[in-house]
């Protein structure tokens, strides 16, 4: 397949493996559950999951049932947990494919049991406890006790119980403590004992790795891909994560234009003197959104500001006369001994690294490197 456009997302698989090892080794009591939802935050879940599986990882989580089914092609005997709500009508396929589902309520489990009556095998469930995020799950003691009774059904396996921190990346731990207390109190209501108990996301994994508790899974998400959930977590200095993704391109056009020349849609930029303008083939259809206007990209080692509005497929930067067609462009990550933190790129746009990764459109080719060799 011809790929004439030089824009690409480079994924460093060696860095990813090292990040997982560092995070997994934070606690000798908890196993790292690799979060590969949303196509591994846009980086390519099949490639990443296959690599992790081949390197001994046996615990994975996704957001949707469709994502889980896709990963069964590369993940065989392991835990694959769907964190979102799955239609109970699909429990047959979950059982057939050994996929674990989230139980968000008593009503959901009742509907799932109706479907199980006509099939062979057991459905593995992780009951979601609501402790303060208020997304999905139950917080009512009566409902939890009713769910516990339903777990007597022989075709249901109570594989796990979990919740989710909503403020673990913050500096104040009070809300974490509140959620933890809620979780422990509600988990204690079950007479059935699950195999897995988990509440920690990436931030919680780093903050609470040495805590004395009964949790045995930690969900490793954005940190797996080399980003700290917040500057507060980074400041804890418990581990050094390595950037995994680098968004790069090349200059396709350079011209010198006179003072007073308008640039781009909406004529939002005007040259204050004779200037050199370089064009880079990446735009908002690739996931580099218009709000990035004004950010400085690295072009052949030179900081070059995005001028004019980002177009759908291209953008323009102000550069020096040294910049030539074919010069390398780094948007974020590490490339040719240059570095721009994805967090710096995200901060400029008043967002987070998660969104930056997930926005990168699939028309941007993903190039995977392992042992310094492209796969």
Spatial distance between the Cα atoms of 277 and 9, rounded to a whole number of angstroms? 24
- Name the nearest CA neighbour of 219 among 25, 34, 24, 18: 34
Q: Write the secondary structure of the chain as one string of H (helix), E (strand) and C (coil).
A: CCCCCCCEEEEEHHHHHHHHHHHHCCCCCCEEEEECHHHHHCCCHHHHHHHHHHCCCCEEEECCHHHHHHHCCCCCCCEEEECCCCCHHHHHHHHHCCCEEEECCHHHHHHHHHHHCCCCCCEEEEEEECCCCCCCCECCHHHHHHHHHHCCCCCEEEEEEECCCCCCCCCCCHHHHHHHHHHHHHHCCCCCCCCEEECCCHHHHHHCCCCCCCCCEEEECHHHHCCCCCHHHHHCCCCCCCCCEEEEEECCEEEEECCCCEECHHHCEECCCCEEEEEECCCHHHCCCHHHCCCEEEECCEEEEEECCCCCCCEEEEECCCCCCCCEEEEEEEECCEEECHHHHHHHCCCCHHHHHHHCCCCCCEEEEECCEEC
Question: Does the annotation mark 367 as catalytic?
Answer: no
Residue 28 has a CB neighbour count (10 Å cut-off) of: 8
Q: Would you list which residues are annotated within the binding site?
A: 135, 312
Is residue 37 part of the annotated active site? The answer reads: yes
Query: Which one of the listed residues 37, 106, 124, 207 is annotated catalytic?
Result: 37
Question: Does residue 316 contact residue 264 with C-beta atoms inside 8 Å?
Answer: yes
Annotated binding-site positions for substrate: 135, 312
Name the residue among 159, 163, 221, 167 with its Cα closest to residue 187: 163
Give the active site residue among 259, 262, 265, 324.
265
Q: Which residues are catalytic?
A: 37, 265
């Amino acid at each position: 397949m011809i790929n004439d456009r030089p824009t690409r997302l480079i994924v460093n698989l060696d860095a990813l493996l090292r990040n997982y090892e560092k995070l997994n080794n934070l606690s000798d009591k908890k196993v790292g559950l690799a979060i590969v939802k949303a196509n591994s935050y846009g980086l390519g879940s099949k490639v990443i999951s296959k690599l992790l599986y081949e390197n001994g990882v046996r615990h994975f989580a996704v957001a949707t049932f469709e994502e889980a089914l896709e990963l069964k092609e590369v993940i065989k005997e392991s835990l694959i947990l769907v964190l979102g709500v799955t239609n109970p009508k699909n429990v047959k396929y979950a059982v057939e494919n050994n996929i674990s589902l989230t139980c968000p309520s008593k009503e959901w489990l009742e509907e799932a049991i109706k479907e199980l009556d006509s099939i062979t095998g057991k459905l593995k469930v992780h009951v979601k406890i609501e402790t303060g995020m208020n997304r999905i799950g139950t917080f009512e003691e009566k409902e939890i006790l009713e769910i516990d009774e339903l777990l007597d059904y022989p075709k249901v396996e109570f594989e796990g119980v979990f919740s989710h921190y909503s403020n673990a990346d913050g500096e104040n731990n009070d809300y974490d403590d509140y959620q933890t207390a809620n979780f422990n109190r509600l988990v204690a209501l079950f007479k059935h004992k699950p195999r897995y108990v988990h509440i920690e996301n990436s931030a919680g994994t780093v903050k609470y790795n040495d805590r004395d508790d009964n949790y045995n899974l930690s969900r490793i998400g954005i940190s797996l891909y080399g980003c700290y959930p917040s500057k507060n977590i980074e400041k804890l200095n418990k581990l050094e994560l390595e950037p995994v993704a680098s968004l790069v391109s090349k200059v396709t056009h350079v011209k010198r234009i006179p003072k007073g020349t308008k640039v781009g849609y909406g004529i939002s930029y005007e040259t204050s003197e004779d200037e050199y303008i370089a064009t880079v083939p990446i735009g908002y259809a690739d996931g580099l959104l218009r709000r990035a206007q004004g950010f400085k990209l690295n072009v052949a080692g030179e900081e070059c500001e995005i001028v004019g509005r980002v177009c759908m497929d291209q953008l323009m930067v102000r550069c020096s006369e040294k910049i030539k067609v074919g010069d390398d462009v780094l948007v974020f990550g590490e490339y040719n001994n240059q570095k721009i933190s994805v967090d710096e790129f995200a901060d400029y746009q008043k967002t987070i690294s998660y969104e930056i990764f997930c926005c990168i459109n699939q028309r941007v080719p993903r190039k995977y490197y392992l042992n310094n060799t492209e796969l």
